[in-house]
Amino acid sequence: MEKVLSEVHLELRCSEETTITRFDFRSSSQSSSCDEPSSSDPEEDLPRGRHVSKNIRLDNDGDIKLRRGKKKRRVARSLSICHSMSTPLASVGLQVWRGALLFAEFVLQSQERFHGAVVLELGGGTGLVGALLAPCARHVFVTDIGEDILKNCARNIEENRHLSQGGVEHIQVRELDWRCPLERPVETSSATFQWGADDLRRMKNLSYLVAADCVYDEPLTDTLFSCVKYLFRAYPSCRSLFVSLEKRVNFSLVDLQARAHAYDHFRTHFTAVEPSQHVPIDVPVALDHAAPMKLLGRQISCDTIGQAFDYDRTCDLELWEIFVDSTKESCAVVEAK
Ligand SMILES: C[S@@+](CC[C@H](N)C(=O)[O-])C[C@H]1O[C@@H](n2cnc3c(N)ncnc32)[C@H](O)[C@@H]1O
């Protein structure tokens, strides 16, 4: 059977099929319970490839004076993640993908945004993103399909509970198949990962959806977007969907050129707006279930996201925030709450 290997694991010299990798990361010491004081010089501590902005002035002799007073302290932490090395396509959730590391870096940098939020992660895989969301969000649901993936994810969440001061009570691993999101129980699901009444009550305050590295196949991307639209309709409090992805370029025999088919297809699902364009999402609206839903997408420049993990962050990695276009002209609104 053909297997795929994530670029994240390329440099790991491991003969085992399954292994535990320590992912070291740096985060600012300001607001999160996932930070600890560090005794080392914060500048020396930054990971490879990170740009350090220094406030440089000259003294009367023309010598450089470094101002050290107001720098943010950056501290080192680590996540321990159990994952497979290479897997068949159906089990890619047992590996860590670069999109997860990029989104995890966004979380580390934007903790205020997720503070008090209820977040549902789609295709959460190994649980790396969820483990970093847990310290700042009010509640996190990490979802995926397949008992092996869900069990591995739950194990990783448990293993990294030290990152959350309050433990892992406010993070749950649940089964959610994009083909039938929360509509009916999946026959194969184990009781451990089934949705309970408390979960569904919490979901009424859903704030964000997250999908890290879930765009790699065109039909699957369509399924993902139907699921997202279903969730936007079912939970009007949900502000947006974050998607991190890698543009995977392949040579196409049909086009006789290199193309990023899955990425191009992803872009057909929404209208891109300028980063500075205002998107009116402040008032939760109940959307007419029969009406078509249009989506808007705003790219978040990766240059604004500090690199906290040590990996090859190529320019093919992107992060998007996707909103319902709730202007009256574009979709039918039942009533504003
Ligand atoms: C490339 S992996 C990304 C995993 C993880 N987010 C990461 O970035 O490391 C894609 C994920 O989507 C999940 N997935 C694929 N099809 C799905 C479906 N129909 N419903 C739910 N999850 C699905 C896979 O199981 C896998 O965990």
Domains and CATH numbers, the chain: 11-32+75-336 (3.40.50.150)
Pocket of ligand 1 (CB under 6 A): 92-93, 96-97, 99-100, 123-126, 144-145, 149, 177-179, 212-214, 216, 220, 223
Strand pairing of 86-87 and 4-5? antiparallel
Question: Which whole-number Å values give the CA distances from 29 to 21, 47, 119, in the listed order?
Answer: 24, 15, 23
What pTM was computed for the model?
0.84
Start-to-end C-alpha separation, the chain: 52
pLDDT tens digits for the chain (337 residues)? 889 999 999 888 788 889 999 999 988 754 444 444 333 343 334 343 333 334 455 666 766 655 544 555 667 899 999 999 999 999 999 999 999 999 999 999 999 999 999 999 999 999 999 999 999 999 999 999 999 999 999 999 999 988 876 555 689 999 999 998 776 545 555 788 999 999 999 999 999 999 999 999 999 999 999 999 999 999 999 999 999 999 988 877 777 778 889 999 999 999 999 887 777 665 455 566 667 899 999 999 999 999 999 999 999 999 999 999 987 655 444 443 3
Ligand 1: atom nearest CA of 179 is 19
pLDDT value at residue 318: 98
What gap in Å lies between CA 171 and CA 157, rounded to an integer?
8
Strand pairing of 333-336 and 250-252? unpaired
For residue 261 the two structure tokens come to: 């088919």
- Quote the ligand 1 centre to 70 CA distance (angstroms): 41
Question: Which whole-number Å values give the CA distances from 145 to 14, 138, 142, 175, in the listed order?
Answer: 26, 23, 11, 6
C-beta of residue 18 within 8 angstroms of C-beta of residue 96: no
pLDDT value at residue 64: 61
pLDDT value at residue 91: 96
Name the closest-CA residue to atom 21, ligand 1.
177
How many residues can be counted in the chain?
A: 337
What gap in Å lies between CA 21 and CA 31, rounded to an integer?
26
Name the closest-CA residue to atom 24, ligand 1.
93
Pocket test for ligand 1, best of 5, 96, 105, 145 (most atoms within 8 A of CB): 145
For residue 85 the two structure tokens come to: 């090395």
Please give the full DSSP string across 139-192, using - where no structure is assigned.
Answer: EEEEEESSHHHHHHHHHHHHHTGGGSTTTTTTEEEEE--TTSTTTS--TT--GG
Around Cβ 264, how many Cβ atoms within 10 Å? 11
For residue 179 the two structure tokens come to: 């083909």
Name the closest-CA residue to atom 15, ligand 1.
123
- Quote the ligand 1 centre to 94 CA distance (angstroms): 9
The separation between CA 257 and the C-alpha centre of its own chain, rounded to angstroms, equals 31
- Quote the ligand 1 centre to 89 CA distance (angstroms): 10
pLDDT value at residue 58: 60
Name the closest-CA residue to atom 3, ligand 1.
213
- Quote the ligand 1 centre to 154 CA distance (angstroms): 15
What pLDDT, in 10s, does the model give residues 47-98? 433 333 344 556 667 666 555 445 556 678 999 999 999 999 999 999 999 9
CB < 8 Å & 24+ apart, contacts of 164-167: 164/33, 164/34, 164/134, 164/135, 165/33, 165/135, 166/33
Pocket test for ligand 1, best of 144, 176, 222 (most atoms within 8 A of CB): 144
pLDDT value at residue 52: 34
- Quote the ligand 1 centre to 274 CA distance (angstroms): 29
Ligand 1: atom nearest CA of 93 is 27
Interior angle at CA 224, CA 218 and CA 228, nearest 5: 145
The set of residues, in sequence order, having a beta carbon less than 8 Å from that of 157 and lying 6+ positions away, is 127, 130, 131, 134, 142, 168, 171, 173
pLDDT value at residue 285: 57
pLDDT value at residue 39: 36
Name the closest-CA residue to atom 4, ligand 1.
125
Kindly report the three-state secondary structure assignment for every residue of 284-321. Answer: CEEECCCCCCCEEEEEECHHHCCCCECCCCCCCEEEEE
Name the closest-CA residue to atom 5, ligand 1.
125
